Structure 1
Amino acid sequence: MLTVSGIVMFVLMYLNIFSVHDFFVGQMKIWMTLMMVAAMAIVMMLFMGKMYKNKRLNRGIIIGSAVAFALCLFLVRSQRTVGDESWLRAMIPHHSIAILTSTRAQLEDEEVKALAEKIAQDQRSEIDQMTELLEKLKKD
């Protein structure tokens, strides 16, 4: 159940990108998914632990999940495992989200609209640049 939930959570995190062309699997989304699954396992065990008779196993699941959560949180916050390619793969969907929110928001103020249009243009340009860099890195 946790595996299926994790896959669903991972996919759901990408539903707010502007274009499917901006879909790139990145480490940060994986670490965030694992962190959410670990938190969910702890919550499930705290609410439903009495369903399972093996208290030692229950404690092991909670402790293991807490360790997994802490490790993933460290990886997300420290960015220790993020290199050039991984950074690009994380930033492209991030910029795509900015395009979606900037182009689809129901804005009324002219200054806010102008800012949103500029953000959308800048983000698209940066996505194009990042995509080119990603292709260049793959060739090297």
Structure 2
Amino acid sequence: NIVSVNPVNEKIFLNVCKDLDIDLISFDLTQRLPFIPKRTAINLAMQKGISFELNIEGMMRDHTTKRNVISNASILVELCHGRNIVLSNGSRDVFHLRGPYDLINVAYLFGLNKEEARNSLTTNPSYMLKHSLARKYVKSVV
């Protein structure tokens, strides 16, 4: 099982990065971020193997939501240095689903280079799944 957290304030975010054993941190990118994550907390989370999800579902709505998604995602990409990022579509409508190359092009808007964009669709999600399996089996062994 993948454990994902959507922190709503900075105190919860710091607690998640320091203490909790999770796999994925997701933000609501359609609204302005309620806080700017600190680089030290993000580095601590990445050392623990936690990934960050960038959900592009809001880019299909209106111009304000699209602007919020792009600005919030570029802030997170800059703080993460393009590592441990997982791109997801999150759409419930079939017509809003995008292919992998479309997602790579959207990742360019966020500030990822070609290799980082490809890793956010292939390598990073598989690493996140391996991290969740390791967490599951280590707890069962102990």
TM-score in terms of structure 2 length: 0.28
TM-score in terms of structure 1 length: 0.28
Higher strand fraction (1 or 2): 2
Higher helix fraction (1 or 2): 1
